[in-house]
Amino acid sequence: MATSTERMRALGERGRLGLRTFTVSVSKDDLRVMAKHGSEGTASADPDQQAQALSRFITDMLAARRAARVTASRRTTPLQ
């Protein structure tokens, strides 16, 4: 566990990098559905593993969405 000084330093660093922190509430049912669809770690009883699995899930979904947007924008770009 990080000390309060380490957490404050990390918060300042994230701010300088333009990163934001947010809280996500996830029910046991949500975790169960994610586990059913193959998200490793969500079925664990360990809250740290659940948090890491949720973080990977969100990262994967955002990456997939970005890739889809980039692909779509390439299709709509006129030939030069």
Q: Which residues of 27-63 are buried (b: 16+ CB within 10 A; e: fewer)?
A: eeeebeebbeeebebbeeeeeeebeebbeebeeeeee
pLDDT digit string (tens) for 6-29?
989 998 998 899 988 788 888 989
Residues 19-43, mean pLDDT to the nearest whole number? 85
Distance CA 5, CA 59 (A): 27
Is the whole-model pTM more than 0.85?
Answer: no
